[in-house]
Amino acid sequence: MTFAALVAVMLTACNTQTSETMNPFFNEYDTPFGVPPFDIIENKHFVPAAKAGFSEQLAEIKAIVDNDETPTFENTIEAYVLSGELRRKVNGVFPKLLSAETSDEIDSIARILVPMNAAHNSSIMLNPGLFNRVKSVFDNQESMDLNPEQSVVLEKIYKRFIRGGANLDDQEKLRISEIDEKLSTLTLEFGNNNLAETNNYQMILESEGDLAGLPESVRSAAADAASAAGLEGKWVFTLHKPSWIPFLQYSENRELREKIYKAMYMRSNQGNEFDNNKMILEILELRLERARLLGYETHADFVLEERMAKEPSNVYELLMKIWEPALDKAKVEAAMMQEMIDQEGGDFQLATWDWWYYAEKIRQEKYELDEEEVRAYFSLETVIDGLFDVVNKLYGLTFEPRNDLPVYHEEVMPYEVKEADSSHLGILYMDFHPRPGKRSGAWSTGIRTAHVKDGELITPVNMIVMNFTRPTGDKPALLSFDETLTFFHEFGHALHGLFKQSHYLGTYVATDFVELPSQIMENWAAHPEVLKTYAKHYLTGDPIPDELIAKLDAASKFNQGFVTVEYTAASILDMDYHSLKDASDLEPNAFEQASMEKIGLISEIIPRYKSNYFQHIFSGGYSSGYYSYMWSEVLDKDAFNAFLETSLFDQATATSFRKNILEKGGSLEEMEMYVNFRGKEPTIEPLLEGRGLN
């Protein structure tokens, strides 16, 4: 089949309008601020609306191609950018539910829509008529008096077509389309397998003796989980982080620690129907083939061309600068733990499932820091108040609960975000706790991106999804300090989406820059001056005492060897996979072992994500990009110093950060944005100092 025939098939397949008249996607949303009417959207609406959306956008693309006028920015680039409004409405809802509130039915719909989306995208990227018009605008831009944002948008769109295969012959275009469609299915199934393995596992304890060492809050949460599963009088631990991490930290039963930890890291690696080994090989081979078709030596070369890092050697250079001091520190930490084991008369060598337990014991002994004591000062309610207060002091924003807005789950909390002058900025949904239909981790995403349509600003709708510890018994949700940092982190992503002032859709920043707005927020969360304002005891309302803040600060660099090593190991594993020039016959477990042996990873630590559940790179958007968190940390630590050099809430600095970073979207080159804010390029020293690695 030629490429032209493929497009014809797409047009025919999509040119089927639904007979349903009550599909909410086909009408303007009759809701406040035009948010999705989650209360009336049903699963049956997605496929008809998506197909109609494909059809409408292809008709819009055809109109651009058939336009007899000379290609201009307005009639080609802007028309292309603003096309597909119905499709965007569907994509503003369905993928969000697929991640946050999935079900067997939604998974089945995804298996239909995900490959259709990939084929549709390919049909646009590989449309020769559309590319010729885009290229004409690109080649003649000097005569078009474009503003800086339009110039950047034009360059990014032109590159998007080139990197999508627009310059290939028909046979190669067809193969690119086949690869994209297959990859979309494989990456979806990879994540589904992980979710199934996570949801299917329960460690059921029947004897109270097996709970030795566990705080009451952990026991209570396990009892609640057992009750929910119809196992009254027992205790259930799962592979959701709020369950397995506290168990590893506190359980005195080493055999049970080993049992649940192995269950965690063996997800999708057990030779059953949810095994991901074969899928990893297929994904790697297809990504490499695609990169080769487009003229790149490896998938990493292809990806990094569009990142701040630019090429694999720069990523490896950064990671190794961090790896060596981090590994040295991790070895010291391991020796401390082994010494404690020996002093206690333990006749065993420290293993991976012991690390969390002995790290917590040393933290309590060396810094007298009890995680349960800390949690008491971080109820979800007070953390929300504290976060809102920080953002108000920085940017003047206020957050008004809007219980009148429809939500996709009763636990979701919607807010109207207002500027200092009380004008409307956007809508933010927050979804806090684990559910069987929610994938693990935490993320922020856009339901509707801010943009200008017909001269009118369309305001953003964003959401934050997390998996925080649930309330138990008569206690509210008490967050760990790590969960608190995660909340501030994801809120930074949301601010980035809310503040974006770009006129055009899809002008997003590079992956290794996108974590700057999120990670910088963690600095305020942990600052002693800020902690005093929001960390309050859930029973007494007393602010966190100075001595506990001092303990938190003193302990902040403890275990940083482990934290940095497990993250950097995963980043290097990602780069090793995607720097391959031949992925045939690869066996993931053997490859991972060789990769970790090469850098000298000690046996007491495993990568933060082992291959078979490494969703960031095999199911998310971080292939050849997991290093981005560290790259962005170089930026965020340096950027936060700009506030420390003035004051925590210095208005001039906050305004500059908003104007030069948060509002720009992808309308400028990333380092240019950063230098416009900071006046110079960043250095790595603040990162090393912040982690205690210097």
Going by pLDDT thresholds of 50, 70 and 90, the confidence category of residue 504 is confident
Residue ranges of domains in the chain: 3-125+127-167, 201-265
Does the active-site annotation cover 490?
yes
Average pLDDT over residues 165-175: 96
Residues 6+ apart with CB under 8 A from 37: 24, 29, 30, 31, 406
- Give the Cα separation of 50 and 6 in Å (integer): 19
Q: Give domain 3-125+127-167's CATH number out of 2.40.30.10, 3.30.565.10, 1.10.3720.10, 1.10.1370.40.
A: 1.10.1370.40
- Give the Cα separation of 671 and 513 in Å (integer): 9
Look at residues 329, 212, 266 and name the one whose alpha carbon lies nearest to residue 688.
Answer: 329
The yes-or-no verdict on residue 187 having pLDDT over 70 is yes
User: pLDDT tens-digit profile of 516-545?
Assistant: 999 999 999 999 999 999 999 999 999 999
Q: Which amino acid is at 315?
A: V
The yes-or-no verdict on residue 17 having pLDDT over 50 is no
User: pLDDT tens-digit profile of 383-406?
Assistant: 999 999 999 999 999 999 999 999
User: pLDDT tens-digit profile of 151-167?
Assistant: 999 999 999 999 999 99
The yes-or-no verdict on residue 6 having pLDDT over 50 is no
* List 189, 416, 490, 592, catalytic entry: 490
67 backbone φψ class: left, alpha, beta (φ>0; ψ -120 to 50): beta
- Give the Cα separation of 665 and 500 in Å (integer): 5
Average pLDDT over residues 634-641: 95
Q: What per-residue confidence (pLDDT) applies to 418?
A: 98
- Give the Cα separation of 580 and 297 in Å (integer): 9
The yes-or-no verdict on residue 605 having pLDDT over 70 is yes
What is the pTM for the complete model shown? 0.89
User: pLDDT tens-digit profile of 74-111?
Assistant: 999 999 999 999 999 999 999 999 999 999 999 999 99
164 close to 242: Cβ distance less than 8 angstroms:
no
- Give the Cα separation of 238 and 247 in Å (integer): 10
User: pLDDT tens-digit profile of 233-275?
Assistant: 999 999 999 999 999 999 999 999 999 999 999 999 999 999 9
Q: Any idea which of 165-179, 371-385, 505-519 has the lowest mean pLDDT?
A: 505-519
User: pLDDT tens-digit profile of 432-491?
Assistant: 999 989 988 899 999 999 888 888 888 999 999 999 989 988 899 999 999 999 999 999
SS3 at position 524: helix
The yes-or-no verdict on residue 3 having pLDDT over 70 is no
The yes-or-no verdict on residue 9 having pLDDT over 70 is no
- Give the Cα separation of 61 and 65 in Å (integer): 6
Going by pLDDT thresholds of 50, 70 and 90, the confidence category of residue 596 is very high
DSSP code string of 280-307: HHHHHHHHHHHHHHTT-SSHHHHHHTTS
